[in-house]
Amino acid sequence: MNEFLMIVFGAMVILGGIATIISRDLFDKLISLGIIVAGIMPFLADRGLLDVLTATALIAPLSTIFILMAIRRRADEP
């Protein structure tokens, strides 16, 4: 991976982290968390850890789905 790609994906990770912290809505927070995961994946691939990448890519959505269980749906709110 050359320097340009490192800067691009690193910027994605930082951007997602800051957006996760500053946004107020729970759904917006979960979407920004998805950007962090997306920025991490090329770094995993660059090290050649393909087995870890496969497992992480399957586990990360499960974590989001577990959090979704506790969120009240939009229709119930006034």
Partner 1 sequence: MWQEFSIGVLLVFIAAVIAFFALVVEKDDLHRLLLLDLVEVSSLGIIALLGTDLAEALILPGLVVGIAELLALSQIYVIKEGFRDKVVQGLNIEVIQADAPLIISVLLICYGVVLSGFTGGGVAGLGVVFYFMARGHREHFELLEMASGISWATWIFAFFVFMFIPEYWMFALFLAAIGILLKVMVKLSLSATIWGDGNE
Partner 2 sequence: MSPEFVLGLVLILIGTVASAFPRPKTYLVQLINLEIPAWGLLLVMLSYNEALALLTFGGVSALSTFIYVRVIQKREGT
Partner 3 sequence: MNWPDIALALCGIIALYAAVRVVLEKDTMRKLPFLNVVSFAISGSIILLIPHPLAIVAAAAYFVGSTLESNAIASKYAGGPKNE
Of 13-21, 22-30, 32-40, 53-61: span binding partner 1 (CB under 8 A)? 53-61
The interface with partner 3 within residues 23-52 (CB under 8 A) comprises 25, 27-28, 30-32, 34-35, 37-39, 41-42, 45-46, 48, 50
Cα separation values, 49 from 33, 53, 55, 59, Å? 22, 6, 10, 15
> Which residues contact partner 2 (rule: CB under 8 A)?
6, 10, 13-14, 17-18, 20-21, 24, 26, 29-30, 33, 36-37, 40, 43-44, 47, 49, 51-52, 55-56, 59-60, 62-63, 66-67, 69-72
Reference 57, options 76, 40, 74, 69; nearest CA is 40
26-46 vs 3-22: helix crossing angle, rounded to 10: 160
